[in-house]
Amino acid sequence: MSRHEDSSSVSGLGARARSVMSGRKPRAIASLGIVLGLGAIGTLAAWSDTATATSGVFSTGSIDLQLNGDSGSTVGFTTLTKTGMMPGNSVAATLPVKNNGSGPFSYTMAASSTSSALAQYLKVTVSTGTSNGTACSGGTVIANNVALVSGGSANLIGTGRSLANGVSETLCFQVVLDSAAPTAAQNQTVNTSFNFNATTA
């Protein structure tokens, strides 16, 4: 028995296939056009600009504490000396303190003494007064009759004193041997250093 093909059926399938293909092709081309359009938008160049702000120069100031016109770390204060002291005797001398730096500072000061039985009987007064070589007079008293400490430190200026740059003040030191110093204080010596410390105000 021979197989009979329906030519109308075949032609119908071909027509549908052609219809489907011809219907998809325009849609595919349309979609491609959209993709290309998006790609073109994404590659547009953006305008831009830059600018730089340059600061000025940064620099530091200085702290320079001068004692008796000297900026060294150790300054001689030999005018404050006395040998052969007896109970009740005193000696006085002045010491200029200057801010030779570029900014203000405040300073403190303490007296450090060597170990000696004499130290505790020496009483120190510091003021802004003047000296006649034996005692200080006038001015403002900063420390009053503070005893030296054997092998230790006595705080003479605990509250910082402010000095603007270029400004100086003169301190007067008066050292008295206590009138009640015992016999054990005879023939004794002591060396004392007055240690200044300046910090930014």
Q: What is the pLDDT of residue 180?
A: 95
Q: How far apart are CA 163 and CA 165, in angstroms?
A: 6
pLDDT (tens digit per residue) in 20-79: 445 554 454 444 454 545 555 556 788 999 999 999 999 988 999 999 999 888 999 999
Q: How far apart are CA 105 and CA 64, in angstroms?
A: 9
Mean pLDDT of the chain, nearest integer:
86
104, exposed or middle or buried, with CB in 10 Å at 0-12, 13-18, 19+?
middle
Sign of CA dihedral 10, 15, 20, 24: positive
Q: What is the pLDDT of residue 32?
A: 47
**Is 0.85 surpassed by the pTM of this model?**
no
Q: What is the pLDDT of residue 45?
A: 80
pLDDT (tens digit per residue) in 92-123: 999 999 999 999 999 999 999 999 999 999 99
63, exposed or middle or buried, with CB in 10 Å at 0-12, 13-18, 19+?
middle
pLDDT (tens digit per residue) in 114-148: 999 999 999 999 999 999 999 999 999 999 999 99
28, exposed or middle or buried, with CB in 10 Å at 0-12, 13-18, 19+?
exposed
139, exposed or middle or buried, with CB in 10 Å at 0-12, 13-18, 19+?
middle
pLDDT (tens digit per residue) in 150-168: 999 999 999 999 999 999 9
Is 5's pLDDT higher than 80?
Answer: no
Query: Could you tell me if 168 and 176 are in contact, meaning their C-beta atoms sit under 8 angstroms apart?
Result: no
Query: Could you tell me if 120 and 106 are in contact, meaning their C-beta atoms sit under 8 angstroms apart?
Result: no
Is 17's pLDDT higher than 90?
Answer: no
74-78: long-range contacts (C-beta < 8 A, 24 or more apart)?
77/194
Helix (H, G, I), strand (E, B) or coil at 167: coil
